[in-house]
Structure 1
Amino acid sequence: MDLLNDLKKGKRGAIAKAITIVENDQTEAKKLLRKIFKDSGNSAIIGITGPAGAGKSSLINKTVIAMRKLGTKPAVLAVDPTSHVTGGAILGDRVRMSESTDSGTYIRSIASRGATGAVSRSLRNSIRVLEYAGFNPIIIESVGAGQTEVEISNIADITVVVFNPNTGDSIQTIKAGLTEIGDIYLVNKSDLSGTNQLFDAVRDFIGDSDRNPIILKTSVKKNSGITVFAKTLKDMMKSKKKFKDAKNKERLEAELKDIVLNNIKEKIDDMLISDKTFSKYLKKLQSKDIDPFQAGDKITKSLLK
């Protein structure tokens, strides 16, 4: 399979093709993963998240260049809110990251397709493709929207939360669930007024927690703090390496449960379509001869025979 050889060499066309397979073609994806799985699981995964408008894309663009100078080989997966028209990913991020792409970094947008679990699946397997192609670290950028953050912090070895002074309701933003997941908190766009208040607020709210996260300021405009951030990431990649095995075992357990539950769900969906008992009790329910729980229990019993 030429695709595998080209993938191993890190050829862009092969990587793009492999990730497209992973996203869109389950049968082919399974064949591909069978071949690359053994060589995956060794790269550091860095999740970068935070409210929309925090300046994540431009920040990642600069950080990736700084990380390359430190001798690492980063790739970026941007999880985009799905474009409702095409079902593909909106490519705004790609435009803002053109500089780092030119320097040899691989950047790809993944559509989040609105489904929890679906993000995890295409993300996990896209990460494996990039690991096989020799990238380390793999940076995942996600727009700050609730559930995806939690999923990404489950996949990432290092989670970075980005804030900016412009959000105005800075303290509220900080309280909203992002406080538990970060290893590093960045106050980005630190050339703006309000930076010091936000920095202090982050430090007071989050810095004192048991996890003792690192809090930094960065400004893409002034090109300040980026090198320090890149070095911090590189050091953290090293220090987190010792937890990698245990974390991988946990993740594989979660993934296996996902797959089994998903398989069972698909099977049951198929069975219900053709199941006579289901249609029998559905009719009884619709004519109110039976309540939903009774109907559900009867159908479940007949399926599990």
Structure 2
Amino acid sequence: MLDLLVDLKKGKRGAIAKAITMVENDQKESKKLLKKIFKNTGTSIIIGITGPAGAGKSSLINKTVGALKKLGTKPAVLAVDPTSHVTGGAILGDRVRMTESTDSGTYIRSIASRGATGAVSRSLRNSIRVLEYAGFDPIIIESVGAGQTEVEISNIADITVVVFNPNTGDSIQTIKAGLTEIGDIYLVNKSDLSGTNQLFDAVRDFIGDSDRNPSILKTSVKKNTGITEFAKTLKNMMALKKKSKKEKDIERLEEELKDIVLNNIREKIDDMLDSDKTFSKYLKKLQSKDIDPFDAGDKITKSMLK
């Protein structure tokens, strides 16, 4: 463990990969590691990049990472991928599209979303801590662009970027579907395509008036336009968010602690139910329709809380 910590502090890629794998797959070892590094985490700005599939997020991140490095930052990327149902691992399409930034020494890692709420948060939070300990700042989280994960990522991120492109024909509908509350920056990407200006105006009219007053920008990876401006906007926002980060982290740690306690209780209860005579007694009654599920649930709960 000591060797791993030393290499991690030096930012060695092999050590980072090993530590994140541990966080994802080995709870016991992961707890030991996190106990050692916890005090030296919580310092980096987390940027969540989300938006509908096909918005061009991976290519955009690829270019933006380069621009952020030129501005003197040390970014890393965690791509939360849809889980491959066969292996339970992450589908690595994103890493293929981000070869440019990987070659320039940026650390990029795919994390499987495993389809469970909470599971994303847990492995993400701790993977972020590993990267913070290794000296990366900012840490960019890319979401798969699927409902629940977006909201979870906006809870973890200090800055949330929502990416649209003019090709998603129902863009305005998409915009209305809950993404309006979470963005600090809205990007109309692939702005070389026709329909860009209408979409940009629609985003501005619909979202720009909100109390949060988010930035609304256009980018095109193909034409390499708007990327530098986006990176500069991010860097300025990072400086601002550093000031309010302490407060936000206080809330986050409270959420995390509740998550851990509830999880521990859930595991304990699962174990108890497996061996609980009252549970099997009422389950049989329920299965033969001698009792309804609510009554059965109440009776089992009462017996367990004695």
Range class of TM-score, shorter chain: over 0.9
Instruction: Give the gaps of 5 or more residues in structure 1.
Output: none
Matches within 5 A, 1:210-229: 210-229=211-230
Alpha-carbon offset, residue 270 of structure 1: 0.4
CA distance in 1, matches of 2:39, 2:129: 10
Q: For each residue in 1:140-162, what CA deviation from the matched residue of structure 2 results, as whole angstroms up to 9, or x when unmatched?
A: 00121110000000000000000
Give the secondary structure class of the aligned counterpart of 2:49.
strand
CA distance in 2, matches of 1:160, 1:261: 30
Q: For each residue in 1:231-288, what CA deviation from the matched residue of structure 2 results, as whole angstroms up to 9, or x when unmatched?
A: 0000000011111001001000000000100110110000000001111111122222
Q: Which residue of 2 aligns with 1:39?
A: 40
Matches within 5 A, 1:9-24: 9-24=10-25
Q: Which residue of 2 aligns with 1:109?
A: 110
4+ long deviations beyond 6 Å:
none
CA distance in 1, matches of 2:269, 2:140: 37
Aligned amino acid, residue 6 of structure 2: N
Q: For each residue in 1:138-194, what CA deviation from the matched residue of structure 2 results, as whole angstroms up to 9, or x when unmatched?
A: 000012111000000000000000000011112111111111100000000000000
CA distance in 2, matches of 1:257, 1:19: 23
Q: For each residue in 1:96-148, what CA deviation from the matched residue of structure 2 results, as whole angstroms up to 9, or x when unmatched?
A: 10101111100000000100100000000000000000000000001211100
CA distance in 2, matches of 1:90, 1:292: 40
Q: How many pairs are equivalent?
A: 305
Q: For each residue in 1:47-98, what CA deviation from the matched residue of structure 2 results, as whole angstroms up to 9, or x when unmatched?
A: 0000000000000000000000000000000000011111111111001101
Q: Which residue of 2 aligns with 1:131?
A: 132
CA distance in 2, matches of 1:141, 1:161: 10
CA distance in 2, matches of 1:174, 1:294: 43
Q: Which residue of 2 aligns with 1:2?
A: 3
Give the secondary structure class of the aligned counterpart of 1:179.
helix
Aligned amino acid, residue 16 of structure 1: A
Matched, 1:87 2:88: yes
Q: Which residue of 2 aligns with 1:209?
A: 210
Give the secondary structure class of the aligned counterpart of 1:60.
helix
Q: Which residue of 2 aligns with 1:178?
A: 179
CA distance in 2, matches of 1:183, 1:22: 29
Matches within 5 A, 1:125-204: 125-204=126-205
Q: Which residue of 2 aligns with 1:295?
A: 296
Matched, 1:283 2:284: yes
Aligned amino acid, residue 102 of structure 2: T
Give aligned-pair identity as a percent: 90
CA distance in 1, matches of 2:297, 2:122: 30
Matches within 5 A, 1:24-35: 24-35=25-36
CA distance in 2, matches of 1:212, 1:226: 21
Aligned amino acid, residue 142 of structure 1: S
Give the secondary structure class of the aligned counterpart of 2:63.
helix
Aligned amino acid, residue 11 of structure 2: G
Aligned amino acid, residue 191 of structure 1: D
